[in-house]
Amino acid sequence: MHASVLAAYLVCYAFLIGFAVTIGLHRGLSHRSFKMNRWLEYFLVTVGLPAGGPIQWVGTHRCHHRYADQDGDPHSPIRGGFWHAHIGGKYLPTDHAVVCFIYSIAGPLRMIFDGWYRPRSNQEYNAYARDIASVPYYRFLGERVPFFSICALHALITSGLAYWIWGAFGLIGIWLVQILVYNVGDGLSSFGHTHGERLPGEPHHARNHIVLGLLALGDGWHANHHSFPSSARHGLLAGQPDCTYGAIRILEKMGLVSQVKLPTPEKLREKLAHEPSHRFPAGELPNKG
């Protein structure tokens, strides 16, 4: 089948798994930045399961926000170094660079390994996700057999379909996309706290970076996110595109999302007063007086 169809398949897959994490696990489940239709939420969290079980993912992420770049942060590069933030603090019991690098490029093999290993490890932050653990379906997803089965099926179906239709080129393509998706997400914990622009006066080291902002579908405006964690919009300034927020607005118009949270103009003015007024999108910030 034509290469353009393969490219379309890979792009659609990247956006689907990306939104499953940014809308489902991150802005929806972890921060409750909006209220989502239950079946849409279940679908997105299930599709995004290779990123982690919902209880484990949310618990670790909320702990990271609670202690961002301080003692107690599970994966701060400021405290533990690059590979600790990128891989070792979240997935493996080691920060060894070679081991972490191999893991980071394992693609579908990483999914299958995670399916077996992750329910057996890194459960120490689950207390931060008691509300998620109160949902029977999310407890089910975190159990060993369902978690492994879904992760393995995700890897086998996506890779098998690509190979069956496009052969070796399809398999290489889906492998590279999975490497990209994994490492962009992990890069928010590593690069996202060491490269880019910090917000003045904030204790965390989270940064805003245009490359991560684009690749992570808006989640790369990481300094904004740490300063306004409950905001459904991370690209708060002009020149900060946020694909995830755009998708949330579409879902809102479809009646699948409601109660979308945004920071008040007063909070924006307080935190971002150093920014020139023209950088604020129209209507987001009243004129200073």
pLDDT tens by residue, 36-73: 999 999 999 999 999 999 999 999 999 999 999 999 99
Asked if residues 163 and 71 have their Cβ atoms less than 8 Å apart, the reply is: no
Q: What is the pTM of this model?
A: 0.92
**What pLDDT is stored for residue 108 in this prediction?**
97
pLDDT digits (tens, 9 = 90+) for 77-113: 998 999 999 999 899 999 999 999 999 999 999 999 9
* Confidence bin at 266 (pLDDT 50/70/90): confident
273: confidence class by pLDDT, cuts 50, 70, 90: low
Pairwise CA distance, residues 109 & 111, whole Å: 5
Query: From CA 33, how far away is CA 72, in angstroms rounded?
Result: 24
| The pLDDT value given to residue 288 | 38
- The answer to whether residue 255 scores a pLDDT higher than 50 is yes
Cα–Cα distance for residue pair 106/67, rounded to 1 Å: 30
Q: What sign does the dihedral 145-93-50-65 (CA atoms) show?
A: positive
**Contact residues for 33 (Cβ-Cβ < 8 A; gap 6+):** 27, 230, 231, 232, 260, 261
Q: Which residues, in sequence order, are CB contacts of 188 under 8 Å at separation 6+?
A: 212, 216, 219, 220, 222
